[in-house]
Structure 1
Amino acid sequence: MSIGDDGDYGDGHGSGTGQTRTRLPDGEGDAYGPPRRTRSTLSSRNLITVVGVVVLLIAAIAFANRGGSGNDETGSGSGGSGKDRGAAAQPTAPTGTKPVSGKTGSIASGFPKTEQGAQSAAANYVVALGSSAMFNHDQRHEVVGTVMAPSVVDGFQTKLDNLYSPQFFKNAGLKPDGTAPAGTTFVYRTIPVGTKSTAFSASEATVEVWCTGLLGLAGEGSTKPVTTSWVTFTMKLSWTGSDWKTVGYAQKNGPAPVSGDVPASGAKEIAGAVAGYGGFTYAR
């Protein structure tokens, strides 16, 4: 598999009409249109831009390098050649079907050979690949070996091992072994908001996963505070005989809502929340 050579999946979203638009004071314009390019806006945008080769690490790479531009797409594979769903909307609502009970390590596994199973697999795999476990060599190998199809595991492992170098960790504000400096907590979480299938067959599926995420170092005096981002991942899956596995993926920024009025919490409170609140097993 070649990573980054065949990742153009399109955005899969039509443009709506009749949207409610809010006019902000002081000439800031439409809340959902292009905002005025303030220093804070530029800093936020730079934080989540793409500078690497593996799409689910986009936020982490930008966090380390504070550079890049646009919406990169990487990953390739053979998934999604079945029934084309185009841009048709599919509501993300509970199906009533219980989530999977199986696990491989800490990652849900044993998803059914159904469209719902493919969506559930995509959501859980996004969470695993977009987590702080990816910054630890052994944990990273375990994650990739669990969520990727056997045919692409070696290629992804090599790319990731080359990416996670001591210099990369240094750029991210971490120690050479990828751990957080004393007095800080490294935060990297991906949280799915919804999923939809854009293509599905008995052996292949393409699923979009709309996510929000947390990224940064929580600690007094941190120069890389924890921030939020919004991104949509396109996961290409293949049925391997017993489960859905990832063969490629891509990403694009947004859709991002207008920020709320909730004041930012202190570093200690954020670190405590990350340590105190566990994650979920996601199901369609």
Structure 2
Amino acid sequence: MYPIGTPGQPWGEEEKKQWLAAQSVKRSYADEVLSQLDGMPDYFSVIQYGALPYDESRYPLYALLPRQPIADAPWVLVTGGVHGYETSGVQGALLFAREYSQAYTDKINLIVVPCVSPWGYETINRWDPLAIDPNRSFYPDSPAPESKLLMDFIGAMAQEFLLHIDLHETTDTDNSEFRPALAARDAIEQKAWEIPDGFYLVADAKAPHLPLQQAIINEVKKVTHIAPTDENGLIIGAEVPSEGVICYDKRKLFLCGGFNNATYCSTTEVYPDSPSATPEICNRAQVAAVEGALQHLLK
């Protein structure tokens, strides 16, 4: 039983306050994320697009934009840290921008948003301080500031995006903490499934573009292993139409990967708790995913 709330009753404001009081800062957004923005290639301008209202000075939000966009070149959006606790989503986005983006900046206009949820990054949380999941909150007038500020920023741009790749992780704490918390908050039952040992992708059910997803998988294989299916042939309860790929209706679920109507989209899921994983492997798997997508689209 989750330690907050009454079984069978959704949380009210008091329970949400109890949950928030139990959270604590475990790492520094300034030291681990903001400090890296000064070392980006000259291709990028570092733009502040907002700040989280919980503490605007502590949680400014930044995006990397092309300093001089290329006319008629496609636009690509890379997002990380929508779930702040998913470390390689943030660090992988930064690593790609700093060390690998130069191979593509003469062909593609890149926008990188490395940490959408910095409070979640510092406290190692899936939710924001309001006990809201930002990755279920990409809809008009969203109550999650993380989601709303990103939607407002990207939505104000005139260009259309060819690709949006959203960098995530699936961790053991999904089963030990975050899904039990969700069950308690909403007074719902959560189906049990084993955490897959390996990398997988979430494609959009309405437009899965499986050749793109397979190109990503093939590139990531060079860095880490791909998640096998479980005994029922599923990954986290979902069917697998292509190796290491499941599909969600991203717009229906209000996921970050579906909010901007990009022609192609993919959501990565790295498994950092694997016995064979290291932080470096996880970060480089995220880079490989971005590179696999870009190389496929440029063919």
TM tier, smaller: under 0.3
TM-score, normalised via structure 2 length: 0.24
Higher helix share: 2
Higher strand share: 1
TM-score, normalised via structure 1 length: 0.25
RCO comparison, higher one (Cα < 8 Å, 6+)? 1
